[in-house]
Homo-oligomer: A and B are copies of this chain.
Amino acid sequence: MIGIFDSGVGGMTVARAIEQLCPQYPLLYFGDIARTPYGSKSPETIIGYSRNNTDFLLEQGAELIVIACNSASSTASDALRSHYQAPILDVITPATTRAAEVTANGRIGVIGTRATIKSGIYPQKIQEARSGTRVFSAACPLLVPLVEEGWGSRRETKMILRRYLHPLRLKQIDTLVLGCTHYPLLKHMIGPRIGKRVKLIDSSVEMAVHVRNFLDQNEQLRQQLLKTTGAENRFFVSDSTDAVQITAAKIFGRPIKLEKINV
């Protein structure tokens, strides 16, 4: 099965996108709600948690690991790759590759949490994918709490988005990477404020496309995964509250059964 982990519920936008694009491969999701968020924690702590999560998913039968969390992708993906045999796909590479492909003027914006932006991983990977591009980053740490509060369409959120996005508009970007799994839920607010001509790169959708391509190129693993076709997708969490249930249902458009495990 495909194992996906995130620090919380945000990564469910990745699981949802994979489910829609690759319905033949069953999913195992783990959201580390008991220790969320990772973005404000140290690299050492994030790597430790990411190893716990990967161990759990492998024990449950995952044969491919998708890191749906930007903080864990930027901080822990190298450590995981050197430690495990199973393929480890991070949520950053597909979006940066896509951004490098679609930009016309070579000016790309990236928004994310403070930890993601501080890591510098997006500019680095975009420039690896296409040298000569210019990347402009903006940390938008209030967007996750605003989404989680259900304030996605409020006037305060518009003002805060305008403040965050204004410096990127001035840089005349033509492509904007949504470098956080919560941000797809704000697309309708981000689009009008960054400008119609700017292409939005949704890292959840790009991750799903990448999973499909990766499996198309790895026939042995693909056949292995197809053996479980028809098995139910399972969603594990290290803690559960009403708000988590509501956000999960909002992302999937249906109620999601969350199975609680201890970490």
Partner-B contacts on A (CB < 8 A): 33-36, 40-42, 45, 114, 141-142, 145-146, 148-149, 151, 155-156, 159-160, 163, 239-241, 243
Contact = CB atoms under 8 A, between A and B. Distances in A.
Contacts of A114: 243
A116 to B, nearest CB: 14
B33 A240 contact: no
A156 B45 CA distance: 32
Contact of A156 (B35, B156, B243): B156
Contact of A142 (B33, B35, B36, B142): B142
B159 A241 contact: no
Copies in the complex: 2
| Residue in A36, A149, A156, A159 whose Cβ sees the most chain B Cβ within 10 Å | A156
B243 A40 contact: yes
A159 to B, nearest CB: 6
Contacts of A145: 141-142, 145
Nearest to A142: B145
Contacts of A146: 142
Contact of A141 (B40, B149, B155): B149
A45 B239 CA distance: 7
A72 to B, nearest CB: 14
B241 A42 contact: yes
B149 A156 contact: no
A241 B141 CA distance: 15
A17 to B, nearest CB: 24
Contact of A34 (B35, B148, B163): B35
Nearest to A240: B42
Contacts of A142: 142, 145-146, 149, 151
A139 to B, nearest CB: 9
B34 A41 contact: yes
Contact of A40 (B36, B40, B160, B163): B36
A59 to B, nearest CB: 21
